[in-house]
Structure 1
Amino acid sequence: MKKIFAAVVFMISALVLVACSNQQSLDGDYYKIYNGKENALVFKIEGDNSYYYPDGVESSATVDEKNHKINYTDKGVNFSLDYDYDSSGELTYSGPFGKDQVYKKGSEAYKRAIEKKD
């Protein structure tokens, strides 16, 4: 009986570890890509040390993965961007200034966007 219980606990632990390791990390550099060329760095996400580059100027940011929000302060004003992340590496975000999409460097979505010429 103890062996069966130990085997069941082991299998459940393995499933939990596999499920957690399959979560897609947002960490990375995200670029706008126009006409098949990397245009501008928009986000640098590194856990608690994240940055947003509106107009090319670095602003500290926090990423709230639970609520799909990126929060940052620009010139003393707090902003919040809603985002959706595609497992292929495309991040679509929207806020007070509209909606846009960026691509995680090295991801499948990034490679497809670089290959695409408008």
Structure 2
Amino acid sequence: METKIRSIYALWNAQDRDGVLAAFQTLGPEGFTIEYVGSEPLEGTQAIIDMWEQYAGSCTTDVVTLLVNGNEAAALIHNNLKQDDGIVTMPSIETYKVSDGVLEVRYFHQTA
């Protein structure tokens, strides 16, 4: 699980959308959801495509800490957003849980 999760962030930084999707699908062969905490979970593939369209090329990620226990993981991520006046780093906590082949991903992002 750790290797596949780390690959998601590396593939994102390499701007390999198909690789990112494949990594999520490998973790959740029966499907996956993405939840931005505070909102309803979204179907995973479309959520990644939407995220890609909004942030690919303008945001890279650094895995600060990744903890894996059995079928669950939690990561502290630094999202590095390119802006006119430089890079702004926004932390997030991202959790992964696999149950019966279904992956549930939750993103805790700072809100205004």
TM interval, shorter chain, is: 0.3 to 0.5
**Higher RCO, 1 vs 2 (CA within 8 Å, ≥6 residues apart):** 2
Tell me which protein shows more helix as a share of its residues.
2
TM-score, L = length of structure 1 = 0.32
